[in-house]
Structure 1
Amino acid sequence: MSARTDTEAEQNQLSSGITPDTLSAKLREKLEASHVDIADLSGGCGQMFEAIIVSPQFAKKTTLARHRLVNSTLKEEIAAIHAWTPKCFTPEEWEKKKGGG
């Protein structure tokens, strides 16, 4: 369900309790993430998020294993939202990506 107005979007976000900040805090705590950047792509209603997550826990894991780790960490939150797209990097991969390598 998408919000038709800013007020409706804010109410949806308040009722679910899911915000980029709450998602970021949980990922930092549970995955020891050194960098988390979460974008709300839903226009503020808190129903569609894209995330960049940098964690040493992703080392030696496939993309699928990384996504499963993130999804299990955010199981309750993901159940309450419409769309979730994580992009997972190790600290080394992230440094290389930022450096344009």
Structure 2
Amino acid sequence: MFVFEDIITMDDRSVQRFLRECNPRDLVLALKGSNNDVAHKIFSNMSSRMAQSIRDDLDITTNVRIRDVEEAQQRIVSVIRDLEEKNELIIIKGGKDEIIA
């Protein structure tokens, strides 16, 4: 079962691919409740302009309900799953799949 924190296991191209499909507001809410590793993985795979915009929004977004954070994270996970079903990105599942780059 893929969860939001599993983004850190994804390759950079896959992260870049799903970021193009995500609502920026969902990214802000999801990052509000994420750990530094996930945030670093996401920020390192977006343009500096978009990263700065998301960081600015994170700074001004306060008093967020945990339910809203979890729902945003679920929407992002749904985007990732949809893209995987369409074979537009790869989720590595516990070493079962071998990848040839």
Query: TM-score normalised to the size of structure 1?
Result: 0.29
Higher Rg of the two aligned structures: 1
Higher helix share: 2
Query: TM-score normalised to the size of structure 2?
Result: 0.29
Structure with the greater relative contact order (CA < 8 A, sep ≥ 6): 1 or 2? 2
Higher strand share: 1
